[in-house]
Amino acid sequence: MISAITDAKERAMGFSVMIRDFTERKKSDEKLQMSLRDKETMLKEIHHRVKNNLQVISSLLRLQSENAQDPKTLALFKDSQERVHAMAMVHEYLYQSPDLAHINFPRYVENLVRNLCRSYGPPLAEDHIQIQVDPVLLSLDVAVPCGLLLTELVSNALKYAYPDRSQGPISVCFRELHDHTYVLTVSDQGVGLPPDLDWRNTTSLGLRLVRILTDQIHGHIWLEQDNGTQFVVTIRDPKNGKRLHG
């Protein structure tokens, strides 16, 4: 910075020059950027390894199920595989994403539900699924339990809503309300739950997981059975403040 030097009558007598050396600051900024890049690389590697480890667990479950003869036991193995797969998908998408803290939820839901259709549904089940998801990014803390919730609710609809492997619509909807609050709805027009079933106190592992996962994300869940079965879950994600663009 250059400043003029004047006498008492404000006549120019010379100039003063002040020089600031930003070398150390620049070096410090470069070190910080390098540290951030290293941490980002490490986080990507962690997500990649978690995904691989979960895939190993899924493969072990599949191999173990080959020795089971009882249909109920086989079904338990299959359900466990799908739960592990739902968690592995979250880490796979985080590994591929430039944002390591949030997941592209529409893409995740689309792939998760299509995979469940192929695994549980009758032929052409994908043609009867309706998916509507607002363009939001969810944090890891909420995306994992939401993925497991979806796995339980959608797989139940595919297995039980339409007896004798008949076809029927299944709807998955995820809407953003306000202030990081969302509503997840999974519905069908099938036979509904048994009238004598207390779904909040059942011994069914799937429905117990639904309640536990809802509590984990501080949500609320209720059931409507006017025309088939509809589960509605409210969800809050205080760490999320982003929407997808483009």
And the tokens for 129? 């699924």
Would you place residue 197 in the very low, low, confident or very high pLDDT band (cuts 50, 70, 90)?
confident
Distance CA(222)–CA(232), nearest Å, equals 6
Would you place residue 186 in the very low, low, confident or very high pLDDT band (cuts 50, 70, 90)?
very high
Span 52-72, average pLDDT? 86
pLDDT at 155 over 70: yes
CB count within 10 Å of CB 213 equals 21
Would you place residue 146 in the very low, low, confident or very high pLDDT band (cuts 50, 70, 90)?
very high
Classify each residue of 25-50 as buried b or exposed e, where b means 16 or more C-beta atoms within 10 Å of its C-beta. eeeeeeeeeeeeeeeeeeebeebeeb
Would you place residue 149 in the very low, low, confident or very high pLDDT band (cuts 50, 70, 90)?
very high
- Inter-residue contact 231 to 170 (CB < 8 Å): no
E strands, the chain, are 2-6, 12-17, 102-104, 129-133, 137-139, 170-176, 181-188, 220-224, 229-236
Of 44 and 116, the one with more pLDDT: 116
Half-sphere exposure (Cβ direction) of 220: Cα atoms closer than 13 Å: 3
Of 26 and 49, the one with more pLDDT: 49
